[in-house]
Amino acid sequence: MGNYKIRVKVEFIECDDPEQNSPMKQNDGSFEMSIDEADAISIDNCETAVLRTSHEAIRAALSEHLSQASKKKALEKAKAQIVVINERPYDVDGEAGRFHFATHRVVQDAKSIFDTSKEVFPTLQGREYYRTVGFKELAYIYGDTNESFRKTAALINRIRHQQQGGTPFRTLQESTEREGQQILDYVKDQSNRILEQNGFSEDGQYQGNSLEYCQGEPVLLPSADIIKAANQCPDDFDKAQLLKNAVGYEDPTTTTNIAIDDVNVKRQNSSRPGEDSEEQKKKYAHNTIAHIENGEEKYTLNGEDTKSVLLFIMAFCFNNNLIGTRLQFFTDGHTLLNKAILKALSWYSNIGIILDWYHLRKKCKEKLSMAMRGSVIRNEVLEKLMPMLWHGLTEKAIDFLNETETDLIKNQTRMAELISYLERNKPYIPCYEIRKQLGLKNSSAIGEKMNDLVVAERQKHNGMSWSKAGSVSLATITALKRNKENDKWFETKFLDFKLAA
pLDDT tens digit sequence for 140-190: 999 877 788 889 999 999 999 999 999 999 999 999 999 999 999 999 999
CA angle 219, 302, 263 (to 5 degrees): 95
Long-range contacts at 177-182 (CB < 8 A, ≥ 24 apart): 177/469, 177/470, 177/473, 177/474, 178/473, 179/136, 179/140, 179/473, 179/477, 180/472, 180/473, 180/474, 180/475, 180/476, 180/477, 181/469, 181/473, 181/476, 182/493
Q: What is the CA radius of gyration of the chain?
A: 31
- For the chain, the average pLDDT equals 85
The tens digit of pLDDT for each residue in 376-400 reads 999 999 999 999 999 999 999 999 9
pLDDT of residue 56: 87
Instruction: With beta carbons less than 8 A apart as the criterion, state whether 311 and 318 touch.
Output: no
The whole-number average pLDDT for the span 285-303 is 89
Write out pLDDT tens, residues 356-381. Answer: 998 999 999 999 999 999 999 999 99
User: pLDDT at residue 26 above 50?
Assistant: no
Task: Give ∠ CA 242-246-249 in degrees, rounded to 5.
Answer: 85
**pLDDT interval class at 313 (50, 70, 90):** very high
Choice among 258-267, 289-298, 391-400 with the minimum mean pLDDT? 258-267
pLDDT per position as a tens digit, 71-99: 999 999 988 789 999 999 999 999 999 99
Q: Which range (252-256, 317-321, 413-417, 467-471) has the least confidence?
A: 467-471
Residue 87: is it exposed, middle or buried by C-beta count within 10 angstroms (0-12/13-18/19+)? exposed
Asked if pLDDT for residue 27 goes beyond 50, the answer is no
- Mean pLDDT calculated for residue range 109-122: 94
pLDDT band at 22 (very low <50, low <70, confident <90, very high): very low
Supply φ then ψ for residue 340, to 5 degrees: -65, -40
- Amino acid identity, residue 140? Y
Whole-number pLDDT of residue 15: 52
Residue 203 to residues 20, 193, 207, 319, 450, Cα–Cα distance (Å):
58, 12, 11, 18, 27
Q: How confident is the model at residue 50 (pLDDT cuts 50, 70, 90)?
A: confident
Please tell me the predicted confidence (pLDDT) of residue 274. 52
The pLDDT of residue 23: 30
* pLDDT for position 188: 96
Distance from first CA to last CA of the chain, Å, rounded?
A: 60
Share of the chain above pLDDT 90, in %: 64
Q: What does the pLDDT read at residue 456?
A: 45
Residue 66, pLDDT score: 93
pLDDT given for residue 32 in this prediction: 67
DSSP letter at 268?
A: P
Q: What is the C-alpha to C-alpha distance for residues 45 and 363, in angstroms, rounded to an integer?
A: 59
The confidence band for 206, taking pLDDT boundaries of 50, 70 and 90, is very high
CB 303 within 8 Å of CB 184: yes
Q: Return the axis-axis angle of helices 306-319 and 335-344, rounded to nearest 10°.
A: 40
Q: What is the pLDDT of residue 446?
A: 54
Q: What is the pLDDT of residue 34?
A: 73
User: CA 41 to CA 44: how far, in whole Å?
Assistant: 9
Q: Given this model, what pLDDT does residue 21 score?
A: 32
- State the average pLDDT over residues 478-486: 92
What's phi and psi for 186, nearest 5 deg? Answer: -65, -45
